[in-house]
Homo-oligomer: A and B are copies of this chain.
Amino acid sequence: MAHSATKRSDITLSNCGYSKVLDIISSKWAALVIYAMENGKIRYGQMLRRVEGISKKMLTQTVRKLERDGLVQRHITPTVPVSVEYSLTALGESLLQPMKTLRQWGRDNYTQVVEARVKYDFVGTPDSVPTSPITSS
């Protein structure tokens, strides 16, 4: 580190690329909605059914934000009952790979995280039981 470097904080929200990405896809449904589009155009109602548990409000809100961020395109076909299809833009598709990398990490390691939590909560909770817990016999 430089000599008198009074500049202490070198890690900031504003220049962190990861935080910027979170700004785009940290919402609860964003990733799921993107996955629903990874094979090409898909209709609104289709997504509503494919993404388990999402409500119309959240689907619309999520897809709108993604559209605003330039990751998603809307295609409107003015048939009798309107038909609206969504698809990823080139920018949106470019995000798929990095996301998959993280997703793979999650698949590979989430059980370890869950185990760590159980362990942490186990040693953390004791309010009683100073005696050995499982080793009953």
Name A residues whose Cβ lies closer than 8 Å to a Cβ of B.
Answer: 8-13, 16-22, 24, 26, 28, 31-32, 35-36, 49-53, 67-71, 91, 94-95, 97-99, 101-107, 109-110, 112-113, 115-117, 119-121
B52 contacts A12, CB within 8 Å? Answer: yes
A23 and B87 alpha carbons, distance in the complex (Å):
26
- A98 — which chain B residues lie within 8 A by C-beta? 101-102, 104-105
The quantity of this chain's copies bound in the complex is 2
**A17 touching B103 in the complex, CB below 8 Å, given contacts A26-B26, A117-B68:** yes
Find the B residue at minimum CB distance from A51.
B11
A106 contacts B20, CB within 8 Å? Answer: yes
- A117 — which chain B residues lie within 8 A by C-beta? 68-70
CB distance from A13 to the nearest CB of B (A): 7
